[in-house]
Amino acid sequence: MPSKSSVKARACPLCGKPRADAFKPFCSRGCRDRDLLSWFGEGYRVPADQPADGTADQDNFTDE
Question: Is this model's pTM higher than 0.85 or not?
Answer: no
Instruction: Check whether the bond before 51 is cis (ω within 30° of 0).
Output: no
**pLDDT band, very low/low/confident/very high, at 47 (cuts 50, 70, 90):** confident
Backbone angles phi, psi at 41, to 5 degrees: -85, 10
pLDDT band of 48, cuts 50, 70, 90: confident
Domain boundaries, the chain: 10-42
Confidence of residue 13 (pLDDT cuts 50, 70, 90): very high
**Residues linked to residue 18 through DSSP beta bridges, in sequence order:** 11
pLDDT of 24: 93
Tens digits of per-residue pLDDT, 14-29? 999 999 999 999 999 9
* Angle, alpha carbons 1-19-4 (nearest 5°): 30
Inter-residue contact 31 to 14 (CB < 8 Å): yes
- What is the reported pLDDT for 52? 67
Helices (runs of H) and strands (runs of E) counted in the chain: 2, 0
